[in-house]
């Protein structure tokens, strides 16, 4: 990492649901990255009502990493979990800091975080780790999931036509903290009304509608490292994707993404 990034405070937001097995290697890699890059980093874990040993793993790593942990008493969905994580990260972060969101299932490479942070310094408000940029790869993903991801990407690109964005649903992103704070102040609890995986697209769309600048860097997505089965429900995710596009494009006055 360049020396400029070493002075940038980074808050990493991890929405987690039954990710005990994945959090162990993820925390280990984060600890190595933090030491190697000398990057001021804190971790925000929002536990969405896990029934496995996720709380225990977080507790075990609390002495090695600066972790802020919050737990939902019951599972409330990705949208609410992401909202709570961003809200806490915005409270903890200085205006010139960076907030990074990533999946807690060990499929996103932590070594990409410095590149995301560096790219923000070119004047962008959000940088997306994208599956659809040259050099990107997806490893270990089922054919049905590949088709769903490509279909969603094509639909969003057709509907919204943002020149710099191809991957609207990637959860691995870096944001300027001030952009997230301003969006939270403007939207409040209306920020994320989608509770499934469509919430990641909804967040990006709302940010873009404020005039935020976005760009992408290539992502190597490692589903071959994911322990256990995917939590995505294909039919539910398909319907929520179609619903979000319809509310935003066909009925914009009723859409929660246009109350800006």
- Angle separating helix axes 78-92 and 177-187, nearest 10 degrees: 120
Q: Check which CATH number belongs to the domain holding 209 and give it.
A: 3.90.550.10
Name every residue whose Cβ is closer than 8 Å to that of residue 196 and which is 6 or more positions away in sequence.
Answer: 77, 78, 79, 233, 236, 237, 240
259 in a domain, yes or no?
no
Q: What was the pLDDT predicted at 3?
A: 47
Domain limits for position 245:
3-253
214 in a domain, yes or no?
yes
76 in a domain, yes or no?
yes
Q: Whole-model pTM? A: 0.86
Across residues 150-160, what is the average pLDDT?
Answer: 78
Write out pLDDT tens, residues 37-77: 888 889 999 999 999 999 999 999 999 999 999 999 999 99
Q: What was the pLDDT predicted at 234?
A: 53
157 in a domain, yes or no?
yes
Element (H, E) at 45: strand 41-47
96 in a domain, yes or no?
yes
Q: What was the pLDDT predicted at 253?
A: 46
Q: Distance between CA 74 and CA 86 in Å, rounded?
A: 19
Residue 12 DSSP one-character state: E
Q: Distance between CA 56 and CA 60 in Å, rounded?
A: 6
Residue 248 DSSP one-character state: I
- Comparison of pLDDT for 253 and 55, the residue scoring more: 55
- Comparison of pLDDT for 199 and 5, the residue scoring more: 199
Q: How many helices (H) and strands (E) does the chain have?
A: 9, 9
Phi, psi of 94 (to 5 degrees): -75, 160
Q: Is it the case that residue 116 has pLDDT exceeding 90?
A: yes
Instruction: Give how many domains the chain has, as a whole number.
Output: 1
258 in a domain, yes or no?
no
What is the biggest distance separating any 2 CA atoms in the chain, rounded to whole angstroms?
A: 50
Burial class (CB in 10 A: 0-12, 13-18, 19+), 79: buried
Share of the chain above pLDDT 70, in %: 85
CB atoms within 10 A of CB 75: 15
Q: What was the pLDDT predicted at 6?
A: 64
Across residues 97-117, what is the average pLDDT?
Answer: 96
- CA neighbor of 252 nearest in space, from 217, 205, 220, 192: 205
Write out pLDDT tens, residues 167-189: 998 999 999 999 999 999 999 99
Residue 140 DSSP one-character state: S
Q: What was the pLDDT predicted at 239?
A: 60
Q: What was the pLDDT predicted at 219?
A: 97
194 in a domain, yes or no?
yes
Write out pLDDT tens, residues 79-88: 999 999 999 9
Q: Is it the case that residue 159 has pLDDT exceeding 90?
A: no
- Comparison of pLDDT for 207 and 156, the residue scoring more: 207
131 in a domain, yes or no?
yes
Q: Distance between CA 122 and CA 21 in Å, rounded?
A: 36
Q: What was the pLDDT predicted at 103?
A: 96
């Amino acid at each position: 990492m360049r020396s400029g990034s070493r002075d940038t405070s980074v808050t990493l937001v991890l929405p987690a649901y039954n990710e005990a097995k994945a959090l162990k290697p993820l925390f280990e890699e984060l600890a190595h990255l933090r030491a190697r890059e000398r990057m001021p980093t804190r971790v925000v874990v929002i536990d969405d009502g896990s029934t496995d040993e996720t709380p225990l793993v977080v507790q075990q790593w609390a002495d090695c990493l600066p972790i802020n942990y919050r737990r939902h008493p019951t599972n409330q969905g990705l949208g609410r979990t992401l909202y709570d994580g961003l809200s806490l990260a915005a409270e903890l972060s200085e205006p010139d800091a960076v907030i990074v969101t990533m999946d807690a299932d060990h499929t996103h490479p932590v070594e990409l975080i410095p590149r995301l942070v560096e790219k923000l310094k070119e004047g962008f408000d959000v940088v997306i780790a994208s599956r659809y940029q040259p050099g990107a790869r997806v490893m270990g993903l089922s054919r049905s999931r590949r088709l769903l991801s490509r279909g969603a990407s094509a639909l969003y690109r057709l509907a919204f036509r943002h020149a710099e964005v191809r991957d609207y649903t990637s959860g691995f992103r870096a944001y300027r903290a001030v952009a997230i704070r301003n969006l939270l102040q403007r939207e409040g609890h209306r920020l994320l009304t989608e509770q499934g995986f469509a919430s990641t697209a909804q967040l990006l769309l709302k940010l873009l509608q404020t005039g935020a600048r976005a760009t992408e860097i290539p992502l190597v997505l490692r589903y071959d490292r994911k322990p256990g089965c995917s939590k995505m429900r294909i039919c539910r995710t398909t319907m929520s994707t179609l619903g979000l596009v319809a509310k935003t494009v066909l009925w914009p006055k009723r859409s929660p993404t246009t109350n800006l």
